[in-house]
């Protein structure tokens, strides 16, 4: 089984500050995540003054366009962020939201693309991404089956490696909306790797998703949940990331452990220690016919007749006297 690919999404948590963006890379370097994901916004190509805020959170941006403008980095700055990720042993990923962003990321040197669920019907941009030949991770957040069918069919024509993430566009996502039950349905429907993109800000959801077969996990991160920004309430604090990653890795290992019930030889010492042998719970004279009320099971296994074979002695006559708590042996009876 392949290791689960874990993506920590910074998105706009850097608030347009290059220094904070680099600080996130440093902070995530020892958490065990495989990749850091940003979002590449080029306001003029992506938005307009008509775009409304999804939630009113910004005290410094009069329009959504202004917000995206503040989130921009230059080409040189993106290269610096990519190189910093690589230096820290993590892959650099960024989701584009325009063709101009795809072109910028191609020059920056991304290895794969992550498509936000709001872009699943943006076939024009998907065409440009498909032509790169690079792996594509698709988030299903706002899409129904019909839309997903069409988008995946569209992308299959480009022969890119595809991965689909179960995701629910809600910030934060309540447990009833995690959709973990959809992971297997997606795997059966599309026959491609399935993962989970989390907006719950919980440690349980991504770990549970792996237990259900998710091969890619993505979650938002933030230095502190009280930080300014639209995704803070749906993000994991940096201090929690290492614990979540360890949980994911441990569950993944457990799924690759093989059939532990095929052979129990390695437990032979413990089976003897915890197993039980038959004993009597009272003193019995020779000739006594044993009933179930005379019997007790005592540790360890192997000091007489096994407790699992108690039926062998019921109704049998003792040849020897037995003291209370003595173990019963086959030679104490005439057992065929």
**Residues 281, 202 share a domain:** no
pLDDT of 334 reads 75
Does an H or E element contain 252, and which? helix 238-255
Structural domain including 321 reads 265-332
How is residue 140 written in tokens? 């299903």
Q: Which of 230, 255, 280 is at the close of a domain?
A: 255
Q: What does the pLDDT profile of the chain (336 residues) look like in tens digits?
A: 569 999 999 988 898 999 999 999 999 999 999 999 999 999 999 888 776 665 566 667 778 888 889 989 999 999 999 999 999 999 999 999 999 999 999 999 999 999 998 899 999 999 999 999 999 999 998 889 999 999 999 999 999 999 999 998 888 889 898 999 999 999 999 999 999 999 888 899 999 999 999 999 999 999 987 676 666 777 888 999 999 999 999 999 988 877 766 776 777 776 777 889 999 999 999 999 999 999 999 999 889 899 999 999 999 999 989 999 999 999 999 765
139-148 b/e with 16+ CB inside 10 Å = b? Answer: bbbebeeeeb
**Residues 34, 124 share a domain:** yes
How is residue 189 written in tokens? 């429907």
Q: Which of 202, 237, 255 is at the close of a domain?
A: 255
pLDDT of 53 reads 63
Token match 């072109």: residue?
103
Question: Per the confidence metrics, is the pTM higher than 0.95?
Answer: no
Domains contained in the chain, number: 2
Q: Are 239 and 30 in contact (CB under 8 A)?
A: no
Q: Which of 201, 226, 255 is at the close of a domain?
A: 255
CATH classification of the domain holding 232: 3.20.20.70
Domain contains 37: yes
pLDDT of 268 reads 76
**Residues 302, 246 share a domain:** no
Domain contains 260: no
Q: 328: exposed, middle or buried (C-beta count within 10 Å: 0-12, 13-18, 19+)?
A: buried
């Amino acid at each position: 089984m392949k290791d689960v690919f874990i993506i920590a999404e910074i998105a706009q948590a850097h608030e347009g500050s290059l220094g904070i963006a680099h600080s996130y890379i440093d902070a995530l370097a020892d958490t065990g995540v495989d990749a850091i994901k940003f979002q590449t916004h080029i306001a003029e190509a992506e938005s307009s003054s008509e775009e409304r805020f999804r939630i009113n959170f910004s005290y410094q941006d009069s329009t959504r366009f202004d917000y995206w403008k503040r989130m921009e980095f230059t080409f040189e700055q993106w290269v610096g962020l990519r190189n910093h990720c690589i230096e820290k042993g993590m892959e650099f990923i960024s989701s584009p939201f325009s063709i101009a962003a795809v072109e910028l990321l191609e020059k920056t040197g991304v290895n794969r693309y992550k498509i936000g669920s709001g872009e699943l019907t943006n076939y024009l941009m998907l065409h440009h991404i498909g032509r790169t030949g690079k792996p594509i991770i698709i988030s299903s957040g706002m899409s129904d089956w019909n839309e997903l069918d069409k988008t995946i069919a569209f992308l299959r024509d480009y022969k890119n490696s595809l991965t689909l993430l179960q995701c629910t566009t809600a910030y934060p996502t309540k447990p009833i909306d995690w959709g973990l039950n959809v992971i297997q349905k997606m795997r059966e429907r599309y026959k491609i790797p399935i993962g989970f993109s989390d907006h719950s800000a919980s440690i349980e959801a991504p770990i549970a998703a792996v237990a259900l077969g998710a091969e890619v996990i993505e979650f938002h991160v933030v230095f502190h949940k009280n930080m300014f920004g639209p995704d803070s309430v749906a993000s994991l604090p940096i201090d929690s990331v290492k614990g979540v990653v360890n949980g994911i890795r441990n569950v993944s290992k457990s799924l690759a452990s093989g059939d532990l019930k095929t052979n129990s030889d390695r437990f032979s010492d413990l089976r003897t220690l915890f197993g039980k042998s038959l004993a009597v719970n009272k003193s019995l004279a020779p000739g006594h016919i044993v009933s179930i009320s005379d019997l007790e099971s005592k540790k360890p296994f192997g000091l007489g007749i096994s407790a699992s074979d108690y039926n062998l002695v019921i109704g049998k006559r003792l040849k020897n006297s037995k003291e209370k708590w003595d173990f019963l042996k086959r030679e104490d009876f005439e057992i065929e």
